[in-house]
């Protein structure tokens, strides 16, 4: 789980940086400027995630986890809870320099585990890259399966009138044993 005052060290055989140099932990206030830069840079470059303002990030900082290389935020992801049985995976982004090294996958593993730990039953995401989320056993659904309030941010999206996003859902009800399709082993250790 992602502890409140403990860090999670990811130990795995990821290429590039050694695992000990990069940790995934809950975001802290001081991370906000870097999360802002990363999320908005990716929103600009890839046009597939929503830009976030500094005030939104401060307001929702408890939703966020970060992957940090020393003090540098190299990846982030957030979990936004809507109701007792529904939460959204948002703002998943990995720094260009660190993409393709498994950090997006590790952030997803940690956010799913965190959701499971707090007793969340179902996750969803709206995305243009369904294949990435299917790796974690998300299944393609329809927006109609989601309550209307989950679309509340759609009006802010530049692609609102010609939406190209797919709704994906993941049930993590009791008995869920974690993504089955992940090839790389990972091991979360609390320190
Ligand atoms: C999507 C993103 C988070 C992936 O992060 P990453 O660290 O590069 O991904 P990983 O290295 O962990 O990739 C893990 C696996 O997913 C696959 N994958 C990565 N990006 C993918 C994509 N866009 N579509 C499908 N599969 C993808 C990789 O090929 C890899 O598979 P392999 O282990 O079989 O080789 C990153 O590319 C990013 O920040 N993109 C811009 C923002 C974005 O699109 N966010 C998601 C919005 S919903």
| Per-residue pLDDT tens digits for 132-148 | 999 999 999 877 778 77
Please give the residue that has the higher pLDDT: either 55 or 47. 55
In a domain, 53, yes or no: yes
Domain count along the chain: 1
- Ligand 1 atom having least distance to the Cα of 95: 39
Q: Is residue 141 part of a domain?
A: yes
DSSP helix/strand/coil, 142:
coil
Best residue among 45, 80, 105, 131 to mutate for probing ligand 1, ranked by most atoms within 8 Å of CB:
105
Atom of ligand 1 nearest to the CA of 106: 12
Q: How far is the CA of 100 from the centre of ligand 1 (A)?
A: 7
Ligand 1 centroid to 76 CA: how many Å? 13
Distance CA 174, CA 34 (A): 35
User: For residue 82, what is the domain's CATH number?
Assistant: 3.40.630.30
Domain that holds residue 13: 8-190
d(CA 143, CA 119): 23
For ligand 1, say whether the CB of 49 is within 6 Å of any of its atoms.
yes
Tell whether 64 is covered by a domain.
yes
Share of the chain above pLDDT 70, in %: 79
Residue 158 is assigned to a structural domain of this protein = yes
pLDDT, averaged across the chain: 83
Residue nearest to atom 40 of ligand 1 (CA): 93
pLDDT, mean of residues 37-52: 92
Query: Considering only CA atoms, which residue is closest to atom 26 of ligand 1?
Result: 132
What pLDDT does 153 receive? 73
- 125: its two tokens: 């995401």
Is 1 part of a structural domain of the chain? Answer: no
Domain membership flag for residue 78: yes
19 near 189, Cβ under 8 Å?
no
| Ligand 1 proximity of 136 Cβ (cutoff 6 Å) | no
Tell me if 49 is assigned to some domain: yes
Q: Which of 169, 155, 131, 181 is nearest to 50 (CA)?
A: 155
Residue 91 lies in a domain: yes
Compute, in angstroms, the gap from residue 132 CA to the centroid of ligand 1: 6
Buried b (16+ CB within 10 A) or exposed e, 162-190: eeebbbbbbebeeeeeebeebeeebebee
pTM assigned to the model: 0.87
How far are the Cα atoms of 39, 45, 89 from residue 10, in angstroms, in the given order? 22, 28, 20
CA of 106 to the centre of ligand 1 (A): 11
Q: Give 190 or 159, the one with higher predicted confidence.
A: 159
């Amino acid at each position: 789980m992602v502890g409140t005052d403990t860090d999670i060290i990811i130990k795995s055989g990821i290429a590039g940086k050694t695992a000990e140099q990069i940790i995934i932990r809950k975001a802290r206030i001081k991370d906000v400027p870097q999360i802002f830069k990363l999320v908005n840079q990716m929103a600009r470059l890839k046009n597939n995630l929503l830009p976030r303002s500094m005030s939104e990030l401060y307001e929702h900082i408890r939703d966020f986890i970060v992957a940090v290389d020393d003090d540098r935020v190299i990846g982030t992801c957030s979990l936004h809870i809507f109701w007792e049985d529904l939460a959204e995976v948002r703002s998943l982004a990995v720094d260009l320099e660190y993409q393709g090294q498994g950090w997006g996958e590790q952030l997803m593993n940690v956010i799913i585990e965190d959701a499971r730990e707090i007793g969340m039953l179902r996750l969803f995401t709206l995305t243009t890259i369904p294949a990435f989320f299917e790796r974690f056993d998300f299944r393609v659904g329809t927006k109609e399966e989601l309550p209307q309030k989950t679309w509340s941010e759609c009006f802010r999206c530049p692609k609102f009138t010609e939406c190209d996003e797919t709704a994906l859902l993941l049930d993590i009800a009791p008995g869920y044993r974690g993504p089955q399709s992940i090839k790389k082993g990972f091991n979360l250790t609390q320190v």
